[in-house]
Structure 1
Amino acid sequence: MNTLFLFENQITGSIPPEIGNLTMLNELSLYTNQITGPIPFELGYLLNLQNFGLSNNQISGTIPDSIGNNTKLVVLNLYQNQISGSIPKTFGKLQSIQELYINHNKLSGSLPQEFGDLINLVALGLANNSLSGPLPTNICSGGRLQYLYLFSNMFNGPIPRSLKTCTSLVEISLQRNQLTGDISQHFGVYPQLKRMSFASNRFYGQVPPNLDACTKLTILRLAQNMITGSIPPILSKLLNLEELSLNSNRLSGEIPQEICSFANLYRLNLSSNQLSGSIPTHIEKLRNLAYLDISGNRLSGSVPEDLGGCMKLLSLKINNNSFNGSLPDVIGNLASLQIMLDVSNNNLSGALPQQLGKLGMLEFWNLSHNQFSSIILSSFASMVSLSTLDVSYNDLEGPIPTTRLLQNVSASWFLHNNGLCGNLSGLPTCYSTPVAGHHKRKIIGLLLPIVLVVLFGIVAAVVVIITLSCNKRKPQESVTAEGRDLFSVWNFDGRLAFDDIVRAAEDFDDKYIIGTGGYGKVYKAQLQDGQLVAVKKLHQTEEELDDERRFRSEMEILTQIRQRSIVKMYGFCSHPAYKFLIYDYIQQGSLHGILENEELSKQLDWQKRIALTTDVAQAISYLHHECSPPIIHRDITSNNILLDTSFKAFVSDFGTTRILKPDSSNWSALAGTYGYIAPELSYTSVAIEKCDVYSFGVVVLELVMGKHPRDLLDGSLSNGEQSMMVKDILDQRPTTPISTEENSLALLIKLALSCLESSPQSRPTMREAYQTLIQPSSGSTTMPFSALTLQQGMHVDIRSGS
């Protein structure tokens, strides 16, 4: 037998060692199955093997040294598995190897220097592992290397010298490592190079001066390093450039005029540097530009009218600079502007152009911290897609337009202006005439001091009365009162339980810790009556100590929440020594822990997973739509979904969120867990319900795949990923889903991808998500599950059932 093709089936179990008896085998393709277990040592007996494909399985264990015996191997694909350990040094014997892909595994250790012996290597993919150490000195010794993907590892040290002379390179991706060195000294001339990403490393020096020789370059990412100097004008020779990312470095000087010659440029990010000067003239020549970010620099001057010629812009960020003058009318002509317009933290002034009301697709608009004057024009009411409008800290006045957007927003978006008014809690009501309004404000100004004096007198009298009353109590009553003031636990089955809780946890001994997070530690405590509770002891912060009354009022609201899929919160304690919350104890632990447990994840079958998704959706919908004021969780993750012994789901950790009241400001700091945070929170601190929706989508995919979806979250799936069959990404540990479960799983994936839309406006509400799960539309199962691809599940409006 020369060839054995068993790819894209549903083969389970491990690879039998007897496969080593097929000594005449040239090609062995087992990719995209459900194969588990290690790579057998006997594979090294296949001395004639030239092509071996084992990708997209669940292979575990280490790579056997014997694979070095397969010296005729030309192609070896082991990517998308769970292979651990280090790469054997015997790989250096694979002299015929041309394509080697072991990316998306759990490999660790350093890359053997023997890789320098692979003189025929054309493509090497080791991305998304935990590999460390320096790169092999002669990694391109054969001079044939074209594709090098080493991103998302922990490689350190300089770029190997052999890469500087590796003129065959077409794509090189080294981002998200710890590589160092002077980038201008280690960069060569690459006439075939199309994509280059060195972002998120520790490179220093200046932008390589010989980049202009890479005339085929389409993507250049040098962001998040320590690069200094100016942006070289010679970059204008890169006529094919589509993306230029130099953000988060230490670049200085002006933005060169030559940058406007990039006719094909789609994304330009120069943010978070030390650039000065003005926006280049003739920027309208960038006719294909969709994303422009020059925020966080020292740019000044006026915003040029030429910017209105970039008609394909989707996102425009010029915030945190020193621009002055007025905002040009022509900005209103950017009809494609959809994701963001951020001009905040500048010195812009004058009236807001009426033409800005024509930006009907815009979702996020930040004008705050400027000197804009006049009124907010009624034409802005036509901007029906807006989810955020921040005009705070300006000199605006007059009524706020009445629109659907502005019915339930925070007044903080409009505070610190000259005289804005409207039907928003926290803002003054608009009056029929300016004279009446002025007269009313004058009366308030006269009465306010009098009212304050009277209130102060009343408070002082109350304090004196309470003090005298306390001094008259009996000694034992005084001790009891002192204890009640010191330790206050409300709503815990009607009794004071502080002593019971502290005693049960032995003064919060570490042996009772069952969880640790950003908010604090969680302890398991058994009360005197045998009841088990989970006690979350919060980290004390200055903000919490200064805002005691708000903390208590929030907690009192949270203790009233009663929903069957939300962990019951019994009460709380607030005192300078301790601040903790008391929850019902859920026995099985977190969803994350169960998915990492091979045995429990098998017990969590598809029927349970589908029911779990519905329960979680209902719980979050309850928090968003049935609580008053609405509660936004901010940290929906698999770690914060707990399961009991029957695998019933409970949403936890809601007690550490902040309540969004109509008269309070939104959260001012990014909160949540990396990998679950909605993308818009990277550019705005305003959290809305749709942030929870995004996190819910991540959890649903994690539940379906059995692991965190990682690469499916970046919003730009490759063609290969889009064509991936949905059935191939399913967790292989539960039994194969039956027909009715397949229909539900197809719906879950469509719902999850809908929740993961980059635009918050495009995501469903949690109420719509829950309704979709309990009342699926008839059109949701028209395509056979076995034929459904990720692309067919993307951008589906689950609200319409299409």
Structure 2
Amino acid sequence: MVFGFEHKMNFCCLYEKRSSGILFLIEFLLCITVITTPFTTALRRDAVVLLQVKSSQLQDPDGRLSDWKLSAPNSPCSWTAILCDNKTNAVVSIQVPSFGILGNFPSDFCRIQTLRTLDLSDNYLGGTVSSEALSLCSQLNFLNLSSNLFVGNLPELRTAFADLTTFDLSLNNFTGEIHRSYGFQLPKLQVLRLLSNFLNGSIPGFISNLTELTRLEIASNLFSPSPLPADIGRLTKLENLWFPGSNITGVIPESIGNLTSLTNLDLSYNSLTGKIPESLGSLSSVVQIELYGNNLSGEIPDVFANLTSLVNFDASQNNLNGKIPESLTGLALETLNLNDNNLEGAIPQNLALNEKLSLLRLFNNRLSGHLPENLGMNSGLNEFDVSGNFLDGPLPPNLCLKKQLEILILFNNNFSGSIPDSYGECSSLTRVRISNNKLSGVIPPNFWGFSGLDMLEISKNNFEGVIPPTVSNARELTEFLVADNNFNGPVPGEICVLEKLAVVDLSRNQFSGDLPSCMTKLSKLLKLDVQGNHITGQIPTDLTAAWPDLTDLDLSGNQISGTIPSELGGLPVLTYLDLSDNLLTGVIPDNLSKLKLNKFNVSNNRLEGRVPPSFDKGWFVSSLLGNPGLCSPDLKPFPSCNKRRATSMILVGILSGLSAILVISLLWLVIKSRKLNLFRSKSKRSWKMTSFQRLWFNQDDILAFLNKDNLIATGGSGQVYRAVLKNGQIVAVKRLWEANRGPESEEVFYSEVETLGRIRHDCIVKLLFSCSGADFRVLVYEFVENGSLGDVLHGEKGGVLLDWPRRFKIAMGAAQGLAYLHHDCVPAIIHRDVKSNNILLDEEFRPKVADFGLAKSLLKDMEEGSEMSKVAGSYGYIAPEYGYTMKITEKSDVYSFGVVLLELITGKRPVDPYFGESKDIVKWVTEVASSIPEQGGANESVGICDEFLDQIIDPRMKPSTSEMQEIKVVLNVALQCVSSLPLSRPSMRRVVELLKDKSRTRSK
């Protein structure tokens, strides 16, 4: 330009003063032309740059940028996502968040020298971001590339970004270490977000150089174990320090107390040790402190008095001891989480003065004494959980005064007295668990019938009285657990309107009268237990359609009369049936043979007639005793069903003698060939056998195959044999390692029996039969023709499974099986050893999840604690958090399944010498991604580029172009599953949804 803008305006003003009439008009138009022509040229140049980038580096499938046209008035300042300076009309901002655009990093946007803001977040941009391309953007104030599909090493900053205040690369697939340039080339940086990538290396100490930072968020990466920088306190302007799940070790530095501007401190899910530093008491601005899921020890320092802004404090799941400091409970906290520690002493009384407290979790400690009497009087409590302590005394009468309490959990304490009448007005309650205390008296009538209540667990107390009709108002109730009390009177018919009931446990009370016949309307019932009462009447007959999901039925220890309905045999999933200690008469229906029962007991009744052949086995004797009218052809001690004639006796004697000789001869031959050495010391009477399907064989047919000629696999829990039965059926027989090798064998056996015995899913292997003795444990499964996925991928059968459609079919089926375990089983089941060797393939390559030796229900996790005494899982499949928490969740299965997906894509084992020393498949895939150079061109695939796939994909597959797109989808799912932070992993139900959506050509 010849003139600056102000000089041009002055020039025009002079013409205005000197001219008049037509001469003035001509001169004024000339003036305007002189002024606007350079700006028009600049804007047109910027518009050309924008259009070139759009056409060569981006795709806009949703047409969000369709108004980018030179012909548009005032272009490009009128275009969508473009912001110009009000005074100069220069382009200063490009913001396209969540526009659905595809392509590579559009670095040419930064050739617009006036550009200060570039927001490309939440799109489908991929490929690498090279240091050279990033250097073009050094003039920016704001750069946001988050929530895209970028891969490769985190780019180096080769030039100073002198004015950059916000730099957000989070939620991508960047790898490598954080380069030293980040500590020296960003002098004005206020926001640095690198979270949820695949960054490795240690947390760098030079982060402390960024003294202008207000937000530092680099969590959820693959950092190696490393401490927080000792001089982290230099970041005095820091407001948000967000490091959950960052593999941080060592102690919390004392210098953290210098972060006086800090509002959020999150160091959760790490491996921090040592004490909570007293300098925490200097964080005068802090609003939230999250320290849960570490290994912190010692006492909580009594230094919180000045933290008047603190709203949320969570130091749960550590090893803290001592008392709860009064300076902490005296604050106006909204949430206080100190559960799963070793805290002791009384709960401070000043907690009751808090007017803000809504959530209090103190469960699983060693707290004692009474609850503060005035708890709830001043604050609207929403969740209150003090279970698993040594607390005693009465319940606070005002706990629900504000009518906001939804969750009340007090189980496993020593509370006494009655439930206060005021609790009968607590209509906000949705979950009540107060079992295993010393509470007594009559429960307020309205307490039974809150409209939003979904769980009522009041077992193992001394409550009395009747269940009132008000229970009919609890229409959301799914679990009704009142066992081990002194309730009396009839079971109210009003319970029949609670259509969502799944579990009803009325056992060990004083209930009397008939069971309401309308209970057959409870179509979602899974478990009904009324044992140990005074129930009379008969068992309902119309059951088959009424209870299609019933697995457990226990009516034992009552005065129930009449016959056993044959309709019980039509319950499709019933596995537990106990009718013992009643007044039942008639015969045992043959129809019960259809059931696959883990537990069957009809002892101590008045049954008569012949024992059905399916129950005429030695291991059922104890379940049949106490019925003098029962008979059996040869089952002792029951009398024979036929009158014996003298000739028959002689014949039987002769046959018995011959049989004895034959048996002795056979035993001698078998022992000589070592085929039955496991029975040398024990007789059949010590065996325990259970069948889960209708079978055409017995234990003798199976045990003959337990020799080396039929051995097909050996694993950590036992050996697997192939058995061909007389009718041609092929089964797989798993003999677990002998009990004298340690208690684990018995644990594994009963885990598999308990788990598989109640599972019904096409993608989970069927357990047919179990047999156990003092020295052996045997499980019989359906035989799966093609062996395991591990065998097919990595063994001699490696040439069989080459094409992608088969691999995807296996991925989908295995995901559905695991989703069933996690989401459809009640309680949910964690497999804990998901791997390719535990996914079996039938003749059509349909997968079946197998080997439940380490399986554990989430219910047991809650009851027993989730820490493991032995390694759960297999090397290469174990989620990283297990190494420092020793805790297993369903997200651990998700991680292992992600590794299986990587196996299917790459054809490589989880741990392979090909990867290099100390590397597994997850680390190898991320490192390959980091080695891909920047891709260019308008047609380059986004997210996961073809060059990346070419380096990792199994060369035996040779996928088509469309299959390559499917593989990209599955690879993205795999990368989500193997996220280092459990919270970032999808649920297995979500994994199934993502895999079903394989037709998409891109995936986030």
TM-score tier, shorter chain, comes to 0.5 to 0.7
1:157-214 Cα deviation digits (max 9, x unpaired): 1112321211210111111111111125363524322111111111101111112313
1:303/1:29 CA distance change after superposition, 3 Å? same
Which residue identity does 1:736 align to in structure 2? V
| Contact 1:192-1:216 within 8 A present in 2 as well | yes
Work out which of the residue numbers 423, 429, 434 in structure 1 matches 2:613.
Answer: 423
Report the alpha carbon displacement of residue 794 of structure 1 after superposing the two structures with TM. 2.6
Report how far residue 412 of structure 1 moved.
3.7
Q: Which residue of 1 aligns with 2:231?
A: 42
The 5 A counterparts of 1:194-209 are 194-209=382-397
Structure 1 partner of 2:82 = none
| Residue aligning to 2:922 | 736
Q: Residue 772 of structure 1 corresponds to which residue in structure 2?
A: none
1:75, CA displacement in angstroms? Answer: 0.7
Q: Is the 8 A contact 1:167 1:192 kept in 2?
A: yes
Q: Deviations over 1:85-114 (max 9, x none)?
A: 211111111111111001111111111111
Native 8 Å contact 2:314 2:337 kept in 1 = yes
Q: Secondary structure at the match of 1:323?
A: strand
- Among 167, 171, 188, the alignment partner of 2:359 is 171
| Contact 1:491 1:559 (C-alpha < 8 Å) held by counterparts | no
Map Cα deviations across residues 383-411 of structure 1 (whole Å, 9 max, x no partner).
Answer: 22323222233333445556698354357
Indicate whether 1:396 and 2:584 are aligned. yes
**Once the 2 structures are TM-superposed, how far is the Cα of residue 796 of structure 1 from its aligned partner?**
7.6
Q: Residues 76 and 226 from structure 1, CA distance in 2 versus in 1: closer, same or farther, beyond 3 angstroms?
A: same
Is it true that 1:294 corresponds to 2:482 in the alignment?
yes
Partner of 1:793 in structure 2?
988
Q: Are 1:236 and 1:261, in contact at CA under 8 Å, matched by a contact in 2?
A: no
Say whether residues 1:352 and 2:539 are aligned partners: yes
Report the CA distance between 1:680 and its aligned residue: 6.9
Give the aligned CA root-mean-square deviation in angstroms. Answer: 5.3
Report if the CA contact (8 A) 1:779-1:801 is conserved.
no
**Amino acid in the other structure paired with 1:325:** G
Contact 2:882 2:888 in 1 (8 A): no
Secondary structure of 1:213 counterpart: coil
Per-residue displacement from partner, 1:255-288 (whole Å, max 9, x unpaired)?
Answer: 2212134111111110011112222223111111
Alignment of 1:74-153 (within 5 A): 74-141=263-330, 143-153=331-341
- TM-score (norm. length: structure 1): 0.63
Q: What secondary structure is seen at the aligned counterpart in 2 of 1:564?
A: strand
1:229-240 alignment runs, 5 A limit = 229-240=417-428
Q: In the alignment, does 2:398 pair up with 1:210?
A: yes
Give 2:879's match in structure 1, choosing from 673, 695, 705. Answer: 705
> Identity of paired residues, percent?
25
Q: Quick check: 1:334 aligned with 2:334?
A: no
**Residue 25 of structure 1, aligned match among 213, 219, 230:** 213
How many angstroms apart in 2 are the aligned matches of 1:699 and 1:741? Answer: 25
Closer, same or farther: CA 101–157 of 1 in aligned 2, 3 Å? same
**Could you tell me whether the CA contact under 8 Å between 2:770 and 2:779 is conserved in 1?**
no
Q: 1:444 to 1:387 in 2, by over 3 A?
A: closer
Alignment partners' CA distance in 2, 1:494 and 1:398: 41
- Three-state SS of the structure 2 residue aligned to 1:251 is strand
Tell which deviates more after alignment, 241-250 or 179-188.
179-188
Task: Give the C-alpha shift of residue 336 in structure 1.
Answer: 2.2
* 8 Å Cα contact 2:581/2:603 also seen in 1: yes
1:751-770 aligned at under 5 Å gives the runs: none
Distance 2:779 2:677 in 1: 29
The amino acid across from 1:348 in the alignment is I
SS of residue matched to 1:331: helix
CA distance in 2, matches of 1:258, 1:197: 22
Aligned pair partner of 1:631 in 749, 763, 778? 778
Matches within 5 A, 1:299-310: 299-310=487-498
* Structure 1 contact 116–136 (Cα < 8 Å) conserved: no
Cα distance, 1:780 vs. partner? 10
Q: For the residues of structure 1 that align with 2:922 and 2:514, how far apart are their CA atoms?
A: 62
Q: Does 1:564 align with 2:713?
A: yes
Deviates more, 1:162-171 or 1:392-401: 392-401
**Quick check: 1:47–1:72 contact (8 Å CA) kept in 2?**
yes
**How far does residue 623 in structure 1 lie from its aligned partner after superposition?**
11
Aligned pair count? 591
Opposite residue 705 of structure 1, the aligned amino acid is A
Contact map agreement 1:567 1:583 (CA 8 A) in 2: no
Indicate conservation of the 8 Å contact 2:424/2:445, yes or no: no
Separation in 2, partners of 1:213, 1:232:
12
Pick closer, same or farther for the CA change 1:246–1:626 going to 2, 3 Å.
closer
Report the Cα distance in structure 1 between the residues aligned to 2:769 and 2:537, rounded to whole angstroms: 42
SS in 2 for 1:114: coil
Gap regions ≥5 residues in structure 2: 1-188, 622-628, 661-670, 689-698, 720-737, 743-763, 781-793, 796-830, 832-851, 864-868, 903-909, 911-917, 929-964, 978-983, 998-1004
Which stretch of structure 1 is more off in the superposition, 169-178 or 402-411? 402-411
Within the candidate set 64, 71, 81, 2:253 is matched to 64
Matched, 1:380 2:554: no
Residue of structure 2 equivalent to 1:14 = 202
Q: Determine if contact 1:386/1:405 at 8 Å carries over to the other structure.
A: no
Separation in structure 2 between the aligned mates of residue 218 and residue 702 of structure 1, nearest angstrom: 42
1:274 aligned to 2:453? no
Q: Hey, what does 1:659 align to over in structure 2?
A: none
Conserved? CA contact 1:284–1:309, under 8 Å: yes
| Cα distance in structure 2, aligned partners of 1:568 and 1:796 | 29
Q: Pick closer, same or farther for the CA change 1:549–1:93 going to 2, 3 Å.
A: same
1:368 to 547, 553, 556: 556
Alignment partners' CA distance in 2, 1:625 and 1:176: 40
Alpha-carbon distance in structure 1 between the residues aligned to 2:528 and 2:967: 36
Distance in 1 of aligned mates of 2:705 and 2:533: 40
Give 3-state SS (helix, strand or coil) of 2:286's partner.
coil
* Deviating more after overlay: 233-242 vs 780-789: 780-789
Paired position in structure 1 for 2:503: 315
Preserved contact between residue 472 and residue 497 of structure 2 (Cα < 8 Å): yes
Distance between the aligned counterparts of 1:702 and 1:187, measured in 2? 49
**Computing the radius of gyration over CA atoms, which structure comes out larger, 1 or 2?**
2
- 1:275 touches 1:299 (CA, 8 Å); kept in 2? yes
Which aligned pairs between 1:651-730 and structure 2 lie closer than 5 A? 677-678=856-857, 699=873, 703-708=877-882
- Do the aligned residues in 2 keep the contact of 1:411 with 1:425 (CA within 8 Å)? no
Residues 520-576 of structure 1: CA distance to partner in whole angstroms, max 9, x if unpaired? xxxxxxxxxxxxxxxxxxxxxxxx99999659x999999858453236989xxxxxx
What SS is found at the alignment partner of 2:251? Answer: coil
CA shift, 1:703, in A, is 3.5
Q: Which amino acid aligns with 2:514?
A: S
- Seen in structure 2, the aligned counterparts of structure 1 residues 228 and 559 have a Cα distance that, compared at 3 Å, is farther
Deviation at 1:628? 6.4
In the alignment, the residues of structure 2 paired with residue 304 and residue 414 of structure 1 have an alpha-carbon distance, to the nearest angstrom, of 26
- Name the SS for the 2:448 alignment partner: helix
Q: Distance in 1 between matches of 2:524 and 2:769?
A: 36
Q: Structure 1, residues 742-800: CA drift from partner, whole Å, max 9, x if none? A: 9xxxxxxxxxxxxxxxxxxxxxxxxxxxxxxxxxxx999954324567555238889x9
- Please say if residues 332 and 359 of structure 1, whose CA atoms lie closer than 8 Å, have aligned partners that are also in contact: yes
Query: Gaps spanning 5+ residues in structure 1: where?
Result: 430-435, 463-488, 497-543, 571-579, 585-620, 634-646, 652-671, 685-694, 743-777
Q: CA deviation at 1:581?
A: 6.1
Counterpart CA distance in 2 for 1:707 and 1:201 is 27
